[in-house]
Structure 1
């Protein structure tokens, strides 16, 4: 356990979060140092507060969005400081203004993740305005110094961006490589796992895919935006190519040549061969981790032949197995196994392609994607009044959260005033950082905040009792500030401990009664956390079971569009950019569904309605995406014949079932059993004919390619039809 904690700490030092923690600490401390030298400490404190208020919106993404986000945070922080500063002088005016500001700033979150961070800056400014740390000259001067701090942070971030912009992209790519490596390892383990263990792995994949999608979205925004701005920049094109290959590796990792159950059944007597494929997958995962380190640390890439040797060994063993098989019936096994290692071979080729891009690329290759096509991959948000109006309804989770947060903050303020709490704004601050739109996330933050604060408080008391050195307190204040900011997204409980330590060390430098400060800090945290938890549970709570059907239908619809592109690809009627765009949307929708299911699984038992049933539906959606990706990957990477009318009939039936499952109006589905039966008969007869021909010829390659195509297409269509039919039956039973 201790070893894991130490290892986790050293891994943190390599992350982009740690770099941002150092950036924040330097930006916040420099104004304090300069102001102290000039004898203007109040101005320095206000500037440091400005850095604190604007830094949350400075998250990875395109430079334009980052600048706009920080600039809006500066504006909203200054306005909030001015309004609350003046309103606090008038008792009859303060509460209405306080309520309106909290509600309106909370509603900004409807415009997406970055907007939610800008919203948090405004809410944080309201809370810190109650701390009554004013500069000389009154409210206006204090607000202007906060604005100056925010602008200083923006300038500081821009300078660092232009100095290290390549490093930012490489850090994100490195994290995406590590997550993909973990995904490949779990998929490899699933080849031989059954029962509850397999279900656990599937749930782990759900959470992992959500994290991968988040990284992919950030990388798209950074790389594609830069390609748009810098044209034929070699660095940008190289990273775009690397990213495209990485997404293809994920797709290949998701794809199976047949259903997992059928593959396990066919290969149950060939454990050694399965273990070899697992080992090959794990070697590729290890190679992705090494590439991640190369990107993160800008090291020279060292070539390794183990992957090639494993590939040669597996194909040689396949040839030996093939020579032993003499019965026609066992050709089915050979084809499935051959397709399995063929998929892995394609994955290996993608890894090799990335290796060549890192070591040999001279900037002459094209990305294979036009600039206008690349821009289509950027996720855009509609920043119009209608988006806000659409959420002014109790059905909206953001609207409910805004009401809930407003009531919780008023409650905390009233408690602080009524009991004359020493630092009442600490209660509000705790409530603000803990509350989230969903109950499960709020409950987790409630626990983590309490544990973190208690641990931090205990450590702080020990240090303050035994060490009486202002220099030590100052050094520890800087260290804990960096670590707190670095851990806040990665491990909130640890971040809460470091936040408590940081507050204590800062107060140790300013006040002699630091033990009393710790006591009030812990008490205020307990009160604020309790308010947040109770509000999330009893005030207009948003339960996932009530909304998860929307995510299910959106995922089915995205899979439908992806499947359409696969059909068009088989008929040579679409471009690769359209295929990739549909794939991206299907991956994102699946990630959103996985995240919603994870939140649902964390809710109280009384609200886990139909959890097992929902897990089955989520799993079916995952299978649908896997089967579609498998078919699309095969068509992209193998020579194929012309799509037959039977293929189109199969696809039409699958699309009908999916359309029924994803639409609100349950229109009767046309009976397509005869078409399906005819298609199955056609593929089965063609498969048998090719088997007999292939079995009797010495030169097998041309026939084998055709046989491989028929086997994959036949199995994929049957699998897709079974999944779509299962989904249709589920929604029919609910209609």
Structure 2
């Protein structure tokens, strides 16, 4: 592992940058207040700052600004009402029900408002018993609201000074994810690979790439200064992002029959050479990603031209020594893989070229695409959307009921005085943090929260026991805050660990010598909240992932069919609409990632809810292969070559018939005889076989010419590869249809025996 690169990736990421901004925005006022000796009295100011800061989700400037403004309004209203009714238990319960339902339901409008809703419930928990507000309610509210507004001001200043910073970091992260994806793909070429494990890793990485691409699309395509291409930086960022998506597709086209490949070349070093070269390419992509995150121009690390020349040399030497009529087709497959590697190398060199454009050249850069077509779909902010989700058939409504129930149970539990709990609002905060719409995520966060809290509490206790120098304690506090906010999105255990440390240190600064009470309360409250959240998520209107499988499989099958149709159209009609193709490619990848993500969550659910797990897993795997093989076929749609030898019409009808059969079965209908007949068509590709036999005869007669042009590939090799890809797509679609037949047979009850 390249530890230097890993450290740079982390330090230059949007998460660390955002964490430092939040930490400074929170801590600087604390230093001023501490200087005047009023920090304890004005403690709600930095608390408000940190709450609003956590609502700042990546995205276009206008949406972020509006969300922060809405968050401040919600926080102020919630804090006011909670403070006014805290002495009336019946009204507090009514408050929990109304706020719990409303702030959970606004999650229907997307992650940004879901974050505002969750933090609003945390604000309610803070103010629910007056523990932190003191006697003067309105003064406390003014201090808290001022802290909220302070972060909004910081946000406006920073985004004005650095309008492209977030977009650059997110696009850079796209490249870093692609580098990790390529490293996984490279492992298929190492000695004795674990194919099942690698396939699982590839599918999981596809989910991460899809989620990040969706977030980046919203940030880039809805940021006015970038879309209007008004500056050199905006044009370069737009093109770098679009290039990252094209690179993603090129990495997907490297799908092959890896097991057959390993068997064919197990006695040579060529596959290991490919593995090593792909890792070099991954390092170059990482270098591009880090440079984008920093905001500097990237320069190549390796001499790729020399490295690629060496790789091709190894191939040609092996070819000249070992190629025979019997293994010709194996060498054709290997030659095609090297051609794809050559194209990926060219793409990376092109990205470096775009990255190093001078100002005059950059002004002429343009995407030529209708960017609105690439935007992620999202619910519009109107009351109708909210009203339509007030139903038990809505997963959002069921989640709202669960979280409201859990908050009520947590509040009632905290009223038992015999437990001697000193910070009961921690129970409600922890419930809000743990309880998520998906049972699997709730289960995972529950355990991570518990382990992180215990580990963080032990470390914090040790720090406070052995360290008595306030300067060092303050430094640890700062670092803990930065690490907490940096890890909050991706590594929840570490986020909770560092959060617990900085909470302990914060309370120690406010009330020294009270660490034993905080230690006991923090762990006890976390355990109580965890038990409540787990029980409610399992008992109260749970939404199990298997109930989503059918709809997601229908969507994935339909989008894969449309994607294939857009690619095969070039072979059928000779025309190819690149923009239409890219939209359909995006939809197919998103549908596949959503299905894969749902399957991964289902694995973490109780065994009795893992319905048809093996069958769904087979469908996910076959869907992945169909998407990848279609991407491989697309490389022949984009060039100007003609392939009349391929019976494209028969292949199109044959493959589409199999795909349509899968969709028919998923919709609960019966397959027609017409579709069955279409799927049995035999394409007229005999001319390709004839050409192949002729070539084998030539090789048998020692007519082997030592051609060494890595940029050119024989027409026969291309034809053979197109034929093989179409055959692979057909075989996988046929396998997928059989998987759904099995799925349906398991779903239908067995008729009683007479």
TM-score, normalising length: structure 2 = 0.89
Superposed displacement of residue 112, structure 1: 1.8
Please say if 1:460 is aligned against 2:460: yes
The question of 1:151 aligning with 2:154 is answered no
Compared with structure 1, are the counterparts of its residues 609 and 709 closer, same or farther at alpha carbon in structure 2 (3 Å cutoff)? Answer: same
2:306 and 2:517 map into 1 onto residues whose CA distance is: 66
Task: Work out whether 1:601 is the aligned partner of 2:603.
Answer: yes
Work out whether residues 177 and 292 of structure 1, in 8 Å CA contact, stay in contact via their aligned partners in 2. Answer: yes
Question: Corresponding residue for 1:565?
Answer: 566
Partner of 2:549: 548
Asked if the contact 1:543–1:607 (Cα under 8 Å) also holds between the matched residues in 2, the reply is yes
Cα displacement (A) at 1:139: 4.2
1:406 to 404, 412, 417: 404
Q: What is the aligned partner in structure 1 of residue 450 from structure 2?
A: 450
Equivalent of 2:395 in 388, 392, 397 = 397
Q: State the distance in 1 between where 2:197 and 2:86 align.
A: 53
1:341 to partner: Cα distance? 0.7
Residues 473-512 of structure 1 mapped to structure 2, 5 A cutoff:
473-511=473-511, 512=513
Q: Quote the residue 2:749 is aligned against.
A: none
Deviations 1:467-510 (A, max 9, x none): 33444443333332222222222321122122222121122122
Equivalent of residue 254 in structure 1, options 247, 252, 255? 252
Q: Hey, what does 2:590 align to over in structure 1?
A: 588
3-state DSSP class of the match of 1:421?
A: coil
Q: Give the drift of 1:602.
A: 1.9
Q: Does 1:56 align with 2:50?
A: no
Q: Give, in angstroms, the shift of residue 574 of structure 1.
A: 4.0
| Distance verdict in 2 for CA 1:390–1:706, change over 3 Å | farther
C-alpha distance 378-469 of structure 1, shift in aligned 2 (>3 A): same
- Measured in 2, the distance between the counterparts of 1:244 and 1:83 equals 48
**Does the 8 Å contact 1:566/1:628 carry over to 2?**
yes
1:523 and 1:674, CA in 2 relative to 1: closer, same or farther beyond 3 A?
A: closer
Q: Which moved more, 1:172-181 or 1:221-230?
A: 221-230
Give matches, 1:513-524, under 5 Å.
Answer: 513-524=514-525
2:206 to 194, 204, 209: 209
CA distance in 2, matches of 1:262, 1:255: 17
- Measured on the aligned residues, the alpha-carbon RMSD in Å equals 3.1
362-371 vs 166-175, which moves further = 362-371
SS at match of 1:668: coil
CA distance in 1, matches of 2:580, 2:658: 23
Change (3 A) 1:137 1:728: same
Match of 1:720 among 713, 726, 729: 729
Match of 2:281 among 277, 281, 284: 284
User: Any idea what SS the aligned residue of 2:642 has?
Assistant: coil
> Which residue is 2:691 aligned to?
689
1:341 to 334, 338, 341: 338
Give the direction of change, closer, same or farther, for the CA distance of 1:321–1:586 in structure 2 (3 Å limit): same
2:293 to 282, 292, 296: 296
For residues 213-257 of structure 1, the C-alpha deviation after alignment (integer angstroms, 9 at most, x for no partner) is 222222222222335554332111112222222222221222246
* Equivalent in the alignment of 1:310: 307
Say if 1:24 and 1:344 are closer, same or farther in 2 by CA, change over 3 A.
Answer: same
| Counterpart for residue 528 of structure 1 | 529
Matched residue, 1:238: 236
- The residue that corresponds to 2:618 in the other structure is 616
After superposition, what is the alpha-carbon deviation per residue over 1:554-584, rounded to whole angstroms, capped at 9, x for unaligned?
A: 2222222211221234434442121111111
Which deviations, in whole Å up to 9, do the C-alpha atoms of 1:638-688 show, x marking residues without a partner?
6234697x41332233223323433524242444666666543x1133342
CA distance in structure 2 between the partners assigned to 1:263 and 1:273 by the alignment: 11
Figure out how many residues of one structure are paired with residues of the other and give that number. 728
Which residue number corresponds to residue 111 of structure 2?
113
Q: CA deviation at 1:624?
A: 0.8
Q: Give the alignment partner of residue 162 of structure 1, picking from 157, 160, 163.
A: 160
Query: Which stretch has the larger CA shift, 443-452 or 387-396?
Result: 387-396
Given candidates 350, 372, 378, the residue that maps to 2:347 is 350
Partner of 1:128: 126
Which structure 1 residue ranges, 5 or more long, are not aligned?
A: none
Give the structure 2 partner of residue 666 of structure 1. Answer: 669
Post-superposition offset of 1:12? 3.7
Looking at structure 2, the residues matched to 145 and 163 of structure 1 have their Cα atoms a distance apart, in angstroms, of: 27
Greater shift, 347-356 or 605-614, is seen at 605-614
Q: Is the 8 A contact 2:9 2:290 kept in 1?
A: no
| SS of corresponding position for 2:164 | helix
Q: Which runs of 5 or more structure 2 residues have no equivalent in the other structure?
A: 745-754
1:101 aligns with 2:99: yes
Mapped contact 1:210–1:594 kept (Cα < 8 A): yes
Aligned to 1:199: 196
CA distance in 2, matches of 1:304, 1:47: 47
> How far apart, in 1, do the equivalents of 2:386 and 2:75 lie?
21
Could you state the TM-score of these two structures normalised by the residue count of structure 1? 0.91
CA–CA distance in 2 between the matches of 1:709 and 1:229?
38
* 1:527 Cα offset (Å): 1.0
- Structure ranking higher in helix proportion: 1
* Mean Cα deviation higher: 698-707 or 568-577: 698-707
- Whether the aligned pair in 2 keeps the contact of 1:71 and 1:154 (CA below 8 Å) is yes
Distance 1:326 1:586, change over 3 A: closer
